[in-house]
Chains A and B, each alone.
Chain A
Amino acid sequence: MRIKLVFGTERTDIPFMAKVSKTAPNARSGRYVAAGKTPDGVTILMPKTKPTHFTTREIRTTITELRRDAATGRSRESMKTGSNRSESKR
């Protein structure tokens, strides 16, 4: 069975993709670190604990690449290749 990718531009019905938070004015508030903000204005907070099997940067890159590949209509196989390619760059 072919899995339909849900990343990409066809998700306009649920527009909650957020901007990267680097320049967000309230990126830091108190003990919390903001990861970003959704279009409806909700600030998403970084978790208290770090992930076990990857770094935050790695999973963010993975998700960004999956979205980009889905948007450009690449197959899953090429998406995997793209992901591996970026891994080898690091």
Chain B
Amino acid sequence: MVSPNPRDVFVNCPFDAAYKPTFNAIVFTVVRCGFRVRCALEADDAAENRFGKICRIIDSSRYGVHDISRTEADGDPPLPRFNMPLEVGLFLGAKRFGGRRQSEKKCIIFDRERYRYQRFMSDIAGQDIHAHGGDIATLIGELTAWLRNESGLRNIPGGVRIAAEFEIFGSALPEIYRARNLSSEEVTFADYNDIVVQYLTASE
């Protein structure tokens, strides 16, 4: 194991279309707070299996943002998707068994309701679990405050401010896509991440 990068944030959440606005908000918030987003979508190396890739990213990330709000029964027969809880477990396991450097890891866990997790992964009681109620502004506020508190970076602005910035960014995004002749469906995580970074730093 290597020493985790002090500004890398592992994002563990659904990657489907329904969750995309929330995922975009997480990426914007993490970047705006001065951190670097790491997630399973960042590389498309067929030679590396998905589990190995996730382990490598967790290994090198000091912070973790986990959203288990979509852990619910689905399909026929109805079964829950446990990828997110599995990755929460990997992150907590790395922190617990990874030696001194990995023990510095910190994570925040989001769910729809504060105590819903007790019905399917009650053993994580005592972790930092926050409810966003499906509201993006609430999630941005909670995530911003957590990153500021855990990192000690006092120049990170408030969550209300970042939520307002994200709303403005969201209304500018279609114009950026149009200028690049891209549809939102074909924009990859790497594209979106770079657009956020350049939007926040490009001068007029």
- Given the known interface contacts A18-B203, A32-B7, the answer about A59 and B36 at a Cβ–Cβ threshold of 8 Å is no
- B residues at A contact (CB < 8 Å): 5, 7-8, 31-38, 42-43, 153, 155-157, 161, 164-165, 168-169, 171-172, 174-176, 178-180, 182, 186-188, 190-191, 193-195, 197-204
Cα of A19 to Cα of B204 in the assembled complex, Å: 9
Cα of A79 to Cα of B180 in the assembled complex, Å: 12
Q: Of A4, A17, A44, A52, which one neighbours B197 at CB under 8 angstroms?
A: A44
- List residues of chain A with CB within 8 A of the CB of B37: 47-48
- List residues of chain A with CB within 8 A of the CB of B200: 16, 18, 35-36, 38, 44
Cα of A62 to Cα of B194 in the assembled complex, Å: 12
Binding site secondary structure of chain B = helix
The reply to whether B36 and A48 form a contact with Cβ atoms under 8 Å apart is yes
A62 CB to closest chain B CB, in angstroms? Answer: 5
- List residues of chain A with CB within 8 A of the CB of B194: 47, 50-51, 54, 56, 59
Q: Which residue of A lies closest to B173 (CB)?
A: A6
Q: Give 1 or 0 for each of A25-38: 1 = CB within 8 Å of chain B CB.
A: 00000011001111
Q: Of B38, B164, B168, B198, which one neighbours A48 at CB under 8 angstroms?
A: B38
The reply to whether B155 and A40 form a contact with Cβ atoms under 8 Å apart is yes
Interface size class of A (residues with CB under 8 A): 35 or more
Cα of A63 to Cα of B107 in the assembled complex, Å: 33
- List residues of chain A with CB within 8 A of the CB of B32: 16, 38, 42, 44
Q: Of A51, A56, A71, which one neighbours B204 at CB under 8 angstroms?
A: A71
19 extra interface residue pairs, beta carbon distance < 8 Å, beyond A3-B174, A60-B202:
A3-B175, A5-B172, A6-B169, A14-B165, A18-B201, A20-B201, A31-B5, A38-B201, A44-B34, A45-B7, A46-B36, A46-B197, A51-B194, A52-B188, A53-B187, A54-B180, A56-B194, A62-B176, A63-B199
Q: Which residue of B lies closest to A83 (CB)?
A: B179
Cα of A68 to Cα of B175 in the assembled complex, Å: 13
- List residues of chain B with CB within 8 A of the CB of A6: 168-169, 171-172
